[in-house]
Each structure stands twice: as structure tokens, then as C-alpha cells.
Structure 1
Amino acid sequence: MSDLTQWQPASLPDTRTLQGRFIRLEKLDVACHGDGLWKALEGPAADRRLWDYLFVGPFPERSGFDDYLAGLEGSTDPWFYTVVDQQTGAIDGFLSLMSIVPNAGRIEIGHVTFGASMQRTPKATEAVYLLAKESFSLGNRRLEWKCNANNARSKRAAERFGFSFEGTFRQHSVFRGQNRDTAWYSIIDSEWPAVQQAFETWLSVDNFRDGQQIRTLEQLRGN
């Protein structure tokens, strides 16, 4: 967006549920979602690598996990959503909108904490799509994705979702007693229509046969 004469500051996220085909995103509520999140993130089938690049966890005790979730529920920035399976009602994880700067039209998708049940599935892609769509619907001009520069899984995900790599902030923070370099990615509003179209085509019924994708997101974006 080069002409800002008509632009207004972005709106803030609210408690509306964001509906998708595979999942819905509900405002995180410990009373409603706590049991499901504990099972998805710390249960017997949980991904043991899940917490490797997160600033908290893992949680050996449920009480500590619930205290953590209570802090997430009460936060306004980050603003947390729980991922709920549309068919089964099972809870698969959470993620947030964060670094919310309405006057600049800037927002970030972060705290992506997906249980093993949704990793590398359409549910994960749809969760990011729904938050990206919401971000630009709120009037933001820029959507960010940041991760530890050593986190190959997160970097690959950002590229697959259509974020552009902008560079690495060296010695950006201290993570668990070690240096963290941070990789920065973004989608800006002029890029969003093409990225959105690729997401929606990829998520459509016609793009799957026997549960397998026919065309990748990269193919649909032409890169």
C-alpha cells in the first residue's frame, strides 16, 4: 500500500470465533480448552520436540500448565486462539496474534504451538490462513512471522505459507541461557490477495484426492 491518504489504523482482534473447513479458532479459555490442550501438548501422543524453541515448557505437572494457560487467556497482546477440529471437537493446539501495532498496521502470528495431531496436516495450514485473513481484514498493512534462526521447521513453514524472508537479527535475544538470532519474515497487504487465493485453492475440496494434496501452496503461488 503506497497511498495512505485513505488508510485508517487497524482494529484490534476480538472474541469472534474464526471458522474454517477443517478447524475453527476460538478465543483461548482455560475452562473450556484446558483438558484438551493438556492432552494434545503434554499427553502420551504429544510431540516431544514441541517445546524446543518455545520460551516455556515442557510442563511435567498439570498445575504449572494451567497457570501458564491462565496467563495466555488474560493476555491482550499476544491474543490467543485455541485450535478446535470442526468434525470431532478435539483440541489440537493454540497460536496467537501478537506485536499488535494498530497505528502502524502491523501484527504478527506467533506462539504457534500445534500438537502432533495437526502438524503437517491441512488443519495447520488453515489455522495460519485464518489468522492471516483476520489480520488483513482488521486493516493491517503488514503481517510478520519471526522465529529462532536455528528453527528449521518454523523457517520452512514460513516460506511455505508465503512469507518473504527479510533477514536475520543477530544476537536479538537470550533464549534458555543461549544466544538467539531471529529470522524475520513478512507478508504485506499488496501481496496478500495472491497469497490468499493460493491458500483458498489449496484448502479446497478439489485440491485433495484420497487425503493427499494435488498441488502444493508453492505451485499455486507460482514459486
Structure 2
Amino acid sequence: MPAPWPTPLAGTLEGRHTRLEPLAETHRAALFAASRHPEIWRWMRDYPSSQAAFDGWYDEALRASAAGEECAFATVDRATGVAVGSTRFLALRPDDLGVEIGWTWLTPGCWRSGINVEAKLLMLTHAFETLGCIRVELKTHAENQRSRRAMEAMGAWFEGVHRNHRIVPGVGIRDTAWFSIIDGEWPDVRRRFEARLAAHN
């Protein structure tokens, strides 16, 4: 049997541009400010337009992390020290050595900055090299071409579309595009990430 995974699943993960801090109450105000852009949420859920709606999302992320069901992070821009988005490990399957990376969002001012590229590299490194994963999953709304292109650019394998996979509040019936990276692909994927990050240095 695989060795038990640590609890919590991950502590702070730090790169040159990005720091992933375990989501905490101290991040709430900065992430509420960062989330005030409806385009962030278009493919994920209904836009949390009020503080109360955002708090519902945030409280659930904290609860799931505390229960060990997920592992949510605040994505921090190291240049400013400000939390600019969030991401998670979810669908944890320690017996099968598999996780999903998802619920990823950044405030639009940080799009194409290299922060998300490095965040994915940090998470994938932790998954494959610390947890010993043999599979990491990623998925998105099948119509979210921006997200699909990003997954393809990182070297993830497109596995197909699950039709009518979910009903998402504020979005509707969702067809879901599935991608994966497996352990044998990880060295090449890592090189791709490192080359992309070099362009932002």
C-alpha cells in the first residue's frame, strides 16, 4: 500500500514569483478584493457579487481544507505580498496516488504574469515528488477555451469530454473537458514549465 499522505496535504509552497499559502482567515479581505471581476467566475459558478456570497464560497473552502477533503491555497504575488487568487488540491485519492488541481482563479491583472504558471509548477512538483502521485487530473468547462489552451500548453493529455457532467449554479449544464498528467510524463512537463517561467525572469 502507498505510504499515508501528510495532514495537512501541503504547507506553504514557494517559488520565485509565487507563494502558495494554506488558505486562512487572514487572506479573506485580500481575496475578496481580488475576486471583484465577473470574468473570473464565468465558467466556475455564479459570480459572488456580495460579501455574503463570497463568504459562503470562502467558508466552504476553509471547511473542506480543515476536514482534509481538499487543500486550498491563497496564491500570493511575492513582489507585493498580496493574495491575488486561489487554487486547490481536490479529489484526493491517496490509495490510488491521484489528485486533481482545480478551483484555480487569479485576479485579471495577474493573468499572463507567470504567477499561475509557477503556481501549477509548485503544485505538480509537490504532487509528483512529495506525495508520489502517479496521476494528476485537471478539468474545465468544455467551452472554456482559455483554460483548455493553458492545460494543453503545460503538456496535459486531453482525455475527452463528459457530456452533461454537472449542473453549475449561474453557469448551467456543463460539459466537462478532462485532462491529466501521469508520472512518466512529469519530467517533460516540468521542463516545459521551467522554459515558460524563464521567459518571465
Task: Provide TM-score, normalisation by structure 2.
Answer: 0.89
2:164 aligned partner, one-letter code: Q
Alignment of 1:18 onto 2:13: yes
User: May I ask how many residue pairs the two structures share in their alignment?
Assistant: 195
Aligned partners of 2:182, 2:150: CA distance in 1, in Å? 17
* Post-superposition offset of 1:9: 4.7
What SS does structure 2 have at the residue aligned with 1:35? helix
Which segment is superposed worse, 20-29 or 173-182? 173-182
Deviations 1:17-59 (CA, angstroms, capped at 9, x unpaired): 00100010000012x10111011111xxx3x31111113x422
Cα 1:178–1:64, aligned 2, differ >3 Å: closer, same or farther? Answer: closer
Aligned partners of 1:192, 1:186: CA distance in 2, in Å? 11
Aligned partners of 1:58, 1:36: CA distance in 2, in Å? 17
Return the match for 2:185 from 191, 199, 209.
191
What SS does structure 1 have at the residue aligned with 2:118? helix
Aligned partners of 1:150, 1:9: CA distance in 2, in Å? 38
Cα 1:172–1:157, aligned 2, differ >3 Å: closer, same or farther? Answer: same
Cα 1:104–1:10, aligned 2, differ >3 Å: closer, same or farther? Answer: farther
Aligned partners of 2:121, 2:4: CA distance in 1, in Å? 19
Alignment of 1:200 onto 2:194: yes
Aligned partners of 2:94, 2:3: CA distance in 1, in Å? 5
- Name which structure has the greater RCO, CA cutoff 8 Å, separation 6+: 2
Give the % identical residues: 32
Higher-Rg structure is: 1
* Post-superposition offset of 1:62: 1.3
What SS does structure 1 have at the residue aligned with 2:40? coil
Q: Is contact 1:19-1:25 (8 Å) kept?
A: yes
Cα 1:10–1:105, aligned 2, differ >3 Å: closer, same or farther? Answer: farther
What SS does structure 2 have at the residue aligned with 1:166? strand
1:198 aligned partner, one-letter code: R
Gap regions ≥5 residues in structure 2: none
Cα 1:89–1:106, aligned 2, differ >3 Å: closer, same or farther? Answer: same
Deviations 1:134-153 (CA, angstroms, capped at 9, x unpaired): 11121110000011111111
Return the match for 1:40 from 29, 34, 38.
34
Alignment of 1:172 onto 2:194: no
Q: Indicate the structure with greater helix content.
A: 2
Which segment is superposed worse, 68-77 or 140-149? 68-77
Deviations 1:97-129 (CA, angstroms, capped at 9, x unpaired): 011100011101000111112212211101111
| RMSD value, Cα | 1.8
Deviations 1:136-177 (CA, angstroms, capped at 9, x unpaired): 121110000011111111111111111110111122122237
What SS does structure 2 have at the residue aligned with 1:191? helix
Gap regions ≥5 residues in structure 1: 1-6, 212-223
* Post-superposition offset of 1:15: 4.6
